[in-house]
Chain A
Amino acid sequence: MNIAAWLILLLPLFSAVVIGLGAFRSRKVSAAISVGAVVGSFLLTLLLIRAGGELRTSVTWLEFEGLQIDIGLQIDTLSKLMLCVVTGIGGLIHIFSLGYMKEDMDFSRYFAFLSLFVFSMIGIVLADNFVMMFIFWELVGISSYLLIGFWFDKSSAADAAKKAFLTNRVGDFGFLIGILMVWAALGSVGFADLSNALSGETAAVTGLAGFLIFCGAMGKSAQFPLHVWLPDAMEGPTPVSALIHAATMVAAGVYMLCRVFFLIDGTWAMEAIAWIGGLTSLMAALMAVQQDDIKRILAYSTLSQLGYMVMAVGLGSPDAAMFHLSTHASFKALLFLGAGSVIVALHHEQDIWKMGGLRDRMPRTYWTFFIGTMALCGVPLFSGFFSKEAIIDVALQSNLLLFLVAVFVALLTTFYMTRLFIVAFMGEPRSAQAKRAKESPALMTVPLLVLAVPSVLAGYYNAHAPNPLVLCASLVMLVFGMLVANTVYSGAKADPLPARFVWLAKAMRGRFWFDEMYQWLIDRVQENLAKLAEAIDRRVIAGLMVRGTHGTTELAGRVLRLTQTGNLKAYAFWFAIGMAALLVFTLS
């Protein structure tokens, strides 16, 4: 079984290396290796689940007295569930990519990067200690950078990749300091050791350490205030958005919080986490209401749903968070891939106002997208219903204000998804491309159909009887949201909201101007500091110490210049004098 666990991790790495070292010359071989690796990992995951039980295996990476860093795998219920999500949904996305990226000149490079990404993500899932998690955390950062900037010739894609990486780095900074604090307080970085150490003394880890660790999750899971990278990251190929921004990378933050929940439980960090999650879910849902790009709507929706999960962790229920994570992974991947199918059919048109009438032209995409939308809105009996109920239920029991936020977000979710669905798929085509749209090939629609199954059914593995109050609240919101969106957008030629709510719509479209604020801050603080440092370097340090254009500095320079001739003989001479002085000095 140990071998199986290692293979799950190493197969995708093997794929990335082999493609990188030469298999890239053949598109078919590259794709086969990459898809084979992820499917292999998935099958081995199923094998492990069948075998049951827990498993720990590790090799030492670095070892000192008092600091041992392992590359260790921890297979338990939590990591098995996450492995299923990552390799299962990841595998379908690989297959979808075969069709989506068919025309791309860098087809092989794409699959090498996908494999690298899956390897890094599996590393996070299996990590049994903080440092290993941080290592793979960084690797996920870089492989997502490579994927987001896959079309790097395009300036916007290159910029988006850079922004994603740097925003994540800010979070990682907190994460690293948090790890150091935990290690200093408890003497280990291994999760098992930490858990044992904690059981002895209570609350040995401060809320500050917990919060700093959460900063890492803030970056990866795109929580406020580090959420700004995710919408831009839609510059990557659409299957990448499905992989990174629905099923895996953004879920890594939530997964990590669940993994180290024992450390943060009971500290003030929990409160902060819950509020940041709630705030993110609200803000992102508001932004989603006024976006016109199909992928951006889904991106903001992802932010909002991640906010739900983070809030659930903060409110003390990692189970609810993981539940929603797993259902969300399948239906959001379905929605992203559905969007990808639409985008390909419309020759890379992403504006929903240039779509319309796709229902009859792309029936399979339409129906699967429909299922995804229902699941996301939380229509009863779809998977999203159960997991969302679970989170709202947790909120109701511990924090009334956050409960209200969660319910309001549910309303907004229904509203913007209905808007997207009606505008993109119903009514008449609003552009020439939409008129000519054709259903995508089977390579792309089959993964959609396969993903539709868990989008409906995934909720049942953990379904509880819903709390009546929660059920009522969310059903009212669901119906209300759908009705309003239907009234506003059914048959609309353009969005009527901006005309009616000028300022609100502007703020929503402008994403509440966070990017502008950050840019201003970076320009004022970072750039000015850098300018200052450079000026000191040029004028003061270099100037005073060597350039010496004035007075004594110049004089000293001139005298010294006589000795520094660049002439080998002169140096040999000085060297000999030095040695002679040394000898005289020591002999006397």
Chain B
Amino acid sequence: MGATQHPQHPELADTPALVNSLLNQVDQLITTQKLGQPLVIGIHTGGVWLAKVIAEHLHAPFGQLDIAFYRDDFSKNGLHPQVSPSSLPFNINDRHLLLVDDVLMTGRTVRAAMNELFDFGRPASIKLVTLCSVNQRELPIQADACALTLDLEVGQYLQLDGPETLKLSIIERANHE
């Protein structure tokens, strides 16, 4: 049911431009916040694709998180049927981290990801990097770098397709929750 033409959000038509804008913001963030050599960590799955692009741009080490074991909706929705292992091939203690997700919406995924990160160690800082922020926050969590902020109608959500070509689009959910 995915409709890709959304005249009210023309920026969505050009995902590569959004990614470039995000890379610029990340460069700025690293400079202004004096992050030195941050580690880049993507949240499964869209965040991982995006994190790879950022890590290549920065020549930085890259890791990935699957937050399935840390979600707050286990009682409601159970265990996600496809869990893929988290992989942080480095020590995060006292390091600056760039936590990357494709879309920031309620903030619950980011909360779960931060809980998981702290089970790996105690980072010096975590900065949140997201391609797009949707104004539906349920927790006090904001992005430090974000290429686009938008409002969505009820029943709409954003989806990043990839990984070869990254393409962000609005999907209409068939059944509203």
Pairing of A with B: no
- Residues in B lying within 8 Å of A, measured CB to CB: none
- Residues in A lying within 8 Å of B, measured CB to CB: none
